[in-house]
Structure 1
Amino acid sequence: MFDNIVMFVLMVVAVVITAIVVLAIVKHNSGTQGANGHKSTRI
């Protein structure tokens, strides 16, 4: 039971970290599009 919970938490954390890194790279690469009001962080 606890092993499944730990694996689920680790999976969620990994997905969140990956999403943050991808969003950071996309925002860094598309600096011109960032002025269109897309600075809201979607979680």
Structure 2
Amino acid sequence: MKTNSKVAVCKICKEKDNLVVYKGTHICKECIAYIKELI
């Protein structure tokens, strides 16, 4: 599995800003807040 992409995007919304690595994938902070509301 190669990851040559220089631009990481959010796994959920494809946003390029405010990314954090969450459980092995890049997710933006808005989506993390959304996920935490669901749990």
- Normalised by the shorter chain, which TM-score bucket? 0.3 to 0.5
Q: Which has the higher contact order (CA 8 A, sep 6+)?
A: 2
TM-score normalized by the length of structure 1: 0.31
Bigger share in strand: 2
When Rg is computed on C-alpha atoms for both structures, the one with the higher figure is: 1
Bigger share in helix: 1
